[in-house]
Amino acid sequence: MKVTSILAAGALTLAITAPAMAARDYISIVGSSTVYPFATVVAEQFGKTTGSKTPKIESTGSGGGFKLFCGGVGVNFPDITNASRAIKPSEMKTCAENGVKDIIEVKIGYDGIVLANAKSAAPLQLTRKDIFLALAKDVPDPANPEKIIANPYKTWKEVNSSLPATKIEVLGPPPTSGTRDAFVELVMDAGCETFPSIKAMKKSDEKAFKAVCQTVREDGGYVEAGENDNLIVQKLQANPDAVGIFGFSFLDQNTDVIQGSIIEGEKPTFEEIAKGTYPVSRPLFFYVKKAHVDVIPGMKGYLAEFASEKAWGQDGYLADKGMIPMPQDERKKYGEVISSLKTMEMK
């Protein structure tokens, strides 16, 4: 008796709570964990002020986002993907193969990548060459720069005599992270190219160039600290010798406990990154499926909210959250892309 009544109750609950599979009435967004804190603010603002349903945002990483986004057209696939890098040609190809042909690319602003250490230690003054030498798996032999040897440096002083004699211990994101991709490209590659012999290699043997410049050491000098930047901040407080790598918004929120390292004479401040003088900053994007704009309710409203001055403008709420706004003319350009729904050229 008991069992049958429980079974019946179960069936009834299911029948009541499961309405017919209707078309999706909310925006589905996936993509970069770097853009996530900014996109969520816009989504919330949009939902609260217009009374529309608040978009759903998954933080899947830039690569994971493109994979889902390029899966196809239809309510089962996301409408927008956020990215902390531009779409790759291979991803565009996947998109096109699955029928996702009209994509709108919108740049939303910039993010600085900072190296930081605890306030209890002295601030570091680094160059990208120093960082490369400290973190690469293989480096040019100091005696004979033509020869590539396994990284012999144990302390910052060995890398550059003006730096303190503390052990090299850098906490940073794992290879799946967009922050890591950008760090490798903006810091490691640039530091690597300061060696003429390696720079020459870029033309002759690109594969070997990448292997030298982009491979991070695995002997304990670089510690993969996961995607949780708050955790890195806590570890830095506990260990004054360690240096962490993360997005500017985490430095911005924790200026009382950590300090950003000066890179090539530039401090990682909001102003320096916005001016473009701080060397390690990258653009942030989102990509929209044009075919969904008129199908999913609220798409135009969300896009308009994102492109409004009170969001991505100089004093907008995204700047308060740590995103570096684009200059006036770029904002105008991408504002027009949104209002005209101008699609990218497919390669």
Q: Which residues bind another protein (CB under 8 A)?
A: 1-3, 6-7, 9-11, 13-14, 17-19, 21-22, 24, 26, 28, 30, 33, 36-37, 40-41, 43-45, 47-51, 53-54, 56-59, 76, 119, 227-230, 249-250, 252-256, 315, 317, 320-322
Smallest distance, another protein to C-beta of residue 184, A: 22
Our CB check for another protein shows the closer of 37 and 63 to be: 37
Closest CA to 55 of 290, 298, 335: 298
- The H or E element spanning position 180 is helix 178-183
Smallest distance, another protein to C-beta of residue 288, A: 18
Smallest distance, another protein to C-beta of residue 67, A: 12
Start-to-end Cα distance in the chain: 66
Smallest distance, another protein to C-beta of residue 124, A: 17
Our CB check for another protein shows the closer of 154 and 321 to be: 321
Our CB check for another protein shows the closer of 220 and 226 to be: 226
Q: How far apart are CA 170 and CA 168, in angstroms?
A: 6
Q: How far apart are CA 228 and CA 58, in angstroms?
A: 16
Our CB check for another protein shows the closer of 39 and 263 to be: 39
The phi, psi pair for 289, rounded to 5°, reads -85, 115
Q: How far apart are CA 177 and CA 112, in angstroms?
A: 15
Our CB check for another protein shows the closer of 256 and 345 to be: 256
DSSP-based three-state secondary structure for 240: coil
Smallest distance, another protein to C-beta of residue 37, A: 6
DSSP-based three-state secondary structure for 87: coil
Tell me if 283 sits within 8 A of 87, measured CB to CB.
no
